[in-house]
């Protein structure tokens, strides 16, 4: 019986859980000798494509990876982390500590910084998607009207508590957006930066009245209601991009994965997670 491709995933950020689903190698007629099994397992391990991705592209990746494995017969290993920040699980900190990856997917500005530092191969960066900032509330709570800048401003002023991301959207929220709206001093004291969890998780537990983060990170969280994108006049889009890690040893695998992730076949899956594909098919 031929070896079947299996998707392996190690989650290090969401809910602080980590797991690995091992690749399974089946011998023809279940008759392989132990040395043959070891050789097959070794070959299977060599085929694994190791991906580090931040939360903005995480949902799309976790849906695409099994599709890629079925189409290409390659195992995908995944590690999640934030694009930036001081958390030990952030991608920059992981790479600095020497963790190995083939492909790194995160906010373009952070990816370019990693390239400048030598953790990502310079010139390998490609933009995959564009992501908007959205707003969510706890399921069952009144759904606020954020259809205009003025209404959005009042929602922020009236909210008792606000949770925002420690990554790109959160940096924009605390350094630029609130100042643009003229409410920085009123809103920041009741706002909480979320470092180790998804913002939606905090909202679902009732620890914040509203949450602001990338749409693709808010949509998957159960126990919340996604209100919508924030108004275009104060919106900031983040490009999530892929680059080749300096530690990569699987050139064939990473090329195949990036070709699939930028293909027309992957477009609908990406759009279903709240992202806008921008990559030119490879």
pTM: 0.74
The number of angstroms, rounded, from the C-alpha of 142 to the middle of its chain's C-alpha atoms is 28
Average pLDDT, whole number, for the chain?
85
Cα separation, 48 vs 180, in Å, equals: 46
Q: Would you say residue 44 has pLDDT above 90?
A: no
Taking residues 119-139, report their average pLDDT: 97
What is the helix (H) or strand (E) element at residue 271, kind and residue range? helix 264-272
pLDDT band, very low/low/confident/very high, at 85 (cuts 50, 70, 90): low
| SS3 of residue 224 by DSSP | strand
Q: Would you say residue 4 has pLDDT above 60?
A: no
Question: How confident is the model at residue 47, as a pLDDT?
Answer: 65
Taking residues 88-106, report their average pLDDT: 92
Domains detected in the chain: 14-130+240-277 (3.40.190.10), 133-234 (3.40.190.10)
Q: Tokens 């605390």 label which residue? A: 174
- Report the share of the chain in percent with pLDDT over 90: 74
Which of 204, 205, 192, 197 has its CA nearest to residue 163?
A: 192
Question: How confident is the model at residue 13, as a pLDDT?
Answer: 35
Cα separation, 90 vs 12, in Å, equals: 10
Question: How confident is the model at residue 86, as a pLDDT?
Answer: 67
Higher pLDDT, 16 or 172: 172
Which of 122, 202, 190, 198 has its CA nearest to residue 162?
A: 190
Our CA dihedral for 61, 63, 67, 70, rounded to 10 degrees, sits at 100
Q: Where do runs of H (alpha helix) occur along 176-226?
A: 178-181, 184-187, 199-204, 215-218
Taking residues 119-129, report their average pLDDT: 96
Cα separation, 226 vs 185, in Å, equals: 26
Q: What is the pLDDT of residues 136-186, one digit of tens each?
A: 999 999 999 999 999 999 999 999 999 999 888 999 999 999 999 999 999
Which of 62, 64, 10, 117 has its CA nearest to residue 279?
A: 64
């Amino acid at each position: 019986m031929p070896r079947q491709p299996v998707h392996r995933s190690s989650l290090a950020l969401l809910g602080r859980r980590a797991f690995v689903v091992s690749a399974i190698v089946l011998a023809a007629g279940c008759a392989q000798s132990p040395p043959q099994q070891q050789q097959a397992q070794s070959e299977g391990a060599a085929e694994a494509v190791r991906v580090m991705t931040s939360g903005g592209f995480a949902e799309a990746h976790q849906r695409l990876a099994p599709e890629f494995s079925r189409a290409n017969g390659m195992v995908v290993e995944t590690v999640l982390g934030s694009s930036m920040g001081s958390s030990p699980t952030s991608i920059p900190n992981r790479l600095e500590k020497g963790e190995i990856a083939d492909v790194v997917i995160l906010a373009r500005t952070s990816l370019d910084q990693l390239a400048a530092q030598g953790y990502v191969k310079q010139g390998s960066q490609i933009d995959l998607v564009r992501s908007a900032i959205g707003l969510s509330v706890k399921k069952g709570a009144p759904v606020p009207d954020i259809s205009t800048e003025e209404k959005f401003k009042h929602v922020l002023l009236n909210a008792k508590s606000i949770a925002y991301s420690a990554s790109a959207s959160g940096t924009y929220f605390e350094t630029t957006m609130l100042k643009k709206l003229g409410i920085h001093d009123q809103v920041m004291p009741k706002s909480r930066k979320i470092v180790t969890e998804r913002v939606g998780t905090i909202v679902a537990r009732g620890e914040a009245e509203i949450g602001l983060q990338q749409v693709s990170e808010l949509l998957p969280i159960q126990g919340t209601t996604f209100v919508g994108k924030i108004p275009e006049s104060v919106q900031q889009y983040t490009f999530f991009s892929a680059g080749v890690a300096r530690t990569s040893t699987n050139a064939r695998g990473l090329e195949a994965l990036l070709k699939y992730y930028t293909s027309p076949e992957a477009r609908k899956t990406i759009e279903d997670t709240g992202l806008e594909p921008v990559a030119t098919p490879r």
